[in-house]
A and B are shown apart, each in its own frame.
Chain A
């Protein structure tokens, strides 16, 4: 009693959906509390026995779910209850709720099959429509299988309202239950001939979707599509047909010839921009061999580019960038419009235009285009600025700097990019700076200059986005220190106080560079003192401000270099595999030595005093660092500190008596350190690691597991390191030198394991496998007030751009031969995964191929061109004997699937006739082939083709010569 009365009360005072929306709008309180209160009411009301109360509750719940994201999966059983109401208004609420909340794993789906069947066959077509709507979003394998016969009936419903919905549902049903193809496909194809445009729209829509997954099976329907393309006046249908042809045309070269004329006709005649655009798109993507059509399409694109409507301008640019790979001339022809678009207020348009501009870049204009783009980057918003920088970097870096002739220019450009205020492309610039250093010998001098300019500016250290670039600069300056104009100044830059703003991993690189520069200075000093001519001595005891010839080691990069690659900023002389190759490289150096002219202003300024003060200063600075928290920084600082103390003692001792050769001990140490740093690094093949043989008895994985166990609780900063393996290195530098020697003899196992670990920790200086990785922009944009000074004003940049950027001017520096860029024989880029999806040969395509009489198996199919006469003959044969057993189960005689495809040359009348004599194509292809032979003669032009099956295009299954 209480139950029924409460249900009456519910019924009387239930809020409707309108009430709910109104009170929610009036609600001044928290929306979420209001929603949860409403859900409470709904939970109570939905259990009511009164169908009105229940359906209203469900309607409210559906609303809250769709608009406010409330979970309604708990109510799925109630949805089924409401669906089964006989009242249309309730049913509608139920079906709507089901279509938004049911999914493949909803358990109650099993309960609705009969309800759906009942509604599908209802005499009230609105009931059927509800069921179809619901099926179009929730159909599962089971539902599809069980309801296929009902759908089959609806496919020929006399009410267009129902028929086109049934057609559209077929798409989902085929997807879930491919066997439905055998039942429904024939009727689906028949509907292509309907005179009602609604029906045709629906069928073409279905074929368009089907062909997006695997277009091959539908080649046979091309004649039907062609007829629609020529005859239809409905733009929606035409667009969809064009979409289908765009997928079919690449598969069958003969198709292009047939469709190009009607398409051009549409381009010329149609007033509908959408249709024209679709025609243009198919011409530039799929019909690019048809020159006159392409010209027509490009002329249309030009119209779009100058249109008032930004949508059309955007699509025009988009079409151009689609055309760019095959028809660069189209882009060049429209370059003015493209350049103008770079200034558009619409970011879509700007980005498209940037893409096009990059497509136009070549060896001859890269300098101008980059210059102009950089000026644009300076005045753009941060996002577009980085978009520009990213494209310039990617384009210039492509294929080992393929388009770069003047590396001095490019290196300076990189430096300039680094100082652009919004630049966040630090990782890419870093990689390229190091990569160029290793690959392009001739660029090193300029590289060192650029690095010095970056390092010396204290303001740059405050910008997080510059840290990685500075890291590269520090490495470059240290590695190629013999090219540095003023090493003392460089040391000052590397130890300036603001370096404490750097993250420890980068600071460690700085410290290591200090060691390189310092050892170089000391070496020069000693050489000049002793007057010996070392191979990299730069001091010829000449006058100041003179040009000196400097011999630098320029060993040919070799793979051997990989063994020492890791040690480039490794301070631990204890293991330094680099020395293992010293001998061989010395031999090589004799052959490859080149003389380089370097302006050395201060090289010989290494007076005793300057060296002593340098040592004092370094000692002072690094003594404070020896208490640093970071292991890497700490250790490197200690090493330098100890080294300096050792060297200083002896140098000071011997002051004033430099005639004698008394630096023997020190110079031996310095020499070994110098030697350790002097061999040239080359690019490392990405597969190099794999070529290092793993010695017997060494299980790499095991070791690494241990590593995890040992330092699992220590949080390693991403690229800083923590020594767990390898000989720990004492602070005394004699120890280091002896260690060094010892290590030369140590076996390869030591090398390879430490290399592995090293690579793991310091991915930084190994060539990255993926250089184009973008940097997350979580940080506020960088701000460097200095760089703002060189912003050109907008008009200036634009004018400059239009004037000169694209002119193929002969530049003076083009006269200079392009320097050698070291490339590895096997390429060092990671193999790019093939992005093209494998042709999907799923069960759906299989079923459709079966039904269409096309060959199920491509390899067999190639030798069996389908021929109208043969299939016809087979059609007349008794059905079923050749059918695969599962097909027999599915097919009554009444439901013979699919039609052979109409012959192209046939007029529509003939086609209709043939449509009626549909036949089953279940035969094994071999059999078909045999039968065909006797019937081929003279009936078709195809027979010649069939006689020479081998010359068929390998990808496309052979299709009847319907269009020729």
Chain B
């Protein structure tokens, strides 16, 4: 199964962290730091696999993709295929791209909740359930609609907040 999905920027700031088994927050932060330390020491154009046993227990592997200013990292165990995980990162990024039209780091920063919605449609409890970005987009759009519909009732704070943020 997939143990964790991390997105962090090239400075090591986490942008998304999803662990499929409960870990105390301190441990999560430590893992993020360790992963970044390994990733930033790797040159460009080398293989995308890293042995993750040292920071994620036995049988843990890590695959990452470096895109623009972001690292996309999947940590998984022996029940997953390495190349398939690499493809899955591609699926995830493609979906983000469709969702945000040319996704960039800022989209990831400001859409915490949407990122999770997308990820949840692809990976469920550590298992890959959907690998088609079109299907994922459909579900995400429906969820967003439902979300908007249910929060539209509370108009006042919504408008105030949007006014404040301008």
Contact = CB atoms under 8 A, between A and B. Distances in A.
A348 B47 contact: yes
Contact of B113 (A13, A25, A59): A59
Contacts of A17: 112-113
Interface stretch (B67-75, B92-100, B148-156): B148-156
Interface string A160-193: 0100110011011000000000000000000000
Contacts of A65: 25
Interface string A189-215: 000000000100110011011001000
Interface in A328-369: 345-349
A497 interface: no
Contacts of B137: none
A123 to B, nearest CB: 13
A66 B49 contact: no
B160 A13 contact: yes
A52 B151 CA distance: 9
A235 B110 CA distance: 34
A32 to B, nearest CB: 13
A198 B148 CA distance: 28
A168 B124 contact: yes
Nearest to B20: A137
Contacts of B147: 88-89, 92
Given A126-B143, A136-B124, A198 B112 contact: no
A192 to B, nearest CB: 15
A311 B47 contact: yes
B17 interface: yes
B164 A89 contact: no
Interface in A265-299: 273-274, 277-278
A201 B125 contact: no
Contact of A63 (B1, B19, B112): B112
A349 B48 CA distance: 11
Interface string B79-111: 101111011000000000000000000000110
Contacts of B161: 14-16, 18-19
A674 to B, nearest CB: 52
Interface string B123-166: 01111111100000001001100111111011011001100110
A67 B15 contact: yes
A87 interface: yes
B139 A88 contact: no
Given A21-B109, A137-B22, A310-B46, A236 B82 contact: no
Given A14-B157, A103-B22, A169-B125, A311 B86 contact: yes
Nearest to B154: A52
Given A16-B161, A89-B147, A137-B20, A67 B129 contact: no
A761 to B, nearest CB: 33
A136 B14 CA distance: 24
A133 interface: yes
A165 B26 contact: no
Contacts of B22: 102-104, 137-138
A147 B124 CA distance: 18
Interface in B1-58: 1, 14-22, 25-26, 28-29, 42-43, 45-51
Given A17-B112, A137-B125, A205-B128, A315 B83 contact: yes
Interface in A122-156: 124, 126, 132-133, 136-138
A699 interface: no
A45 to B, nearest CB: 11
- Interface SS of chain A: helix
A22 interface: yes
A278 B79 CA distance: 11
A11 interface: yes
Interface string A201-240: 1100110110010000000000000000000000110011
Best-buried of A70, A93, A311 by chain B (most CB within 10 Å): A311
A196 B81 CA distance: 22
Given A126-B146, A310-B45, A310-B47, A212 B151 contact: no
Interface of B: 1, 14-22, 25-26, 28-29, 42-43, 45-51, 77-79, 81-84, 86-87, 109-110, 112-113, 116, 120, 124-131, 139, 142-143, 146-151, 153-154, 156-157, 160-161, 164-165
27 contacts: A14-B161, A15-B161, A19-B161, A52-B154, A72-B25, A92-B113, A96-B116, A100-B19, A102-B22, A132-B124, A133-B124, A136-B126, A137-B21, A164-B129, A171-B127, A198-B130, A239-B84, A273-B83, A311-B86, A313-B47, A314-B47, A315-B82, A315-B83, A345-B46, A348-B46, A348-B51, A349-B47
Given A12-B160, A66-B17, A311-B83, 15 more contacts: A14-B161, A21-B109, A21-B112, A65-B25, A69-B28, A88-B146, A89-B146, A93-B113, A102-B22, A137-B22, A138-B22, A161-B139, A205-B1, A310-B45, A348-B50
Interface of A: 11-19, 21-22, 25, 52-53, 56, 59, 63, 65-67, 69-72, 87-90, 92-93, 96, 100, 102-104, 124, 126, 132-133, 136-138, 161, 164-165, 168-169, 171-172, 198, 201-202, 205-206, 208-209, 212, 235-236, 239-240, 243, 273-274, 277-278, 310-311, 313-315, 345-349
Closest 6 CB pairs of A and B: A136-B125, A274-B83, A346-B46, A103-B22, A69-B29, A310-B47
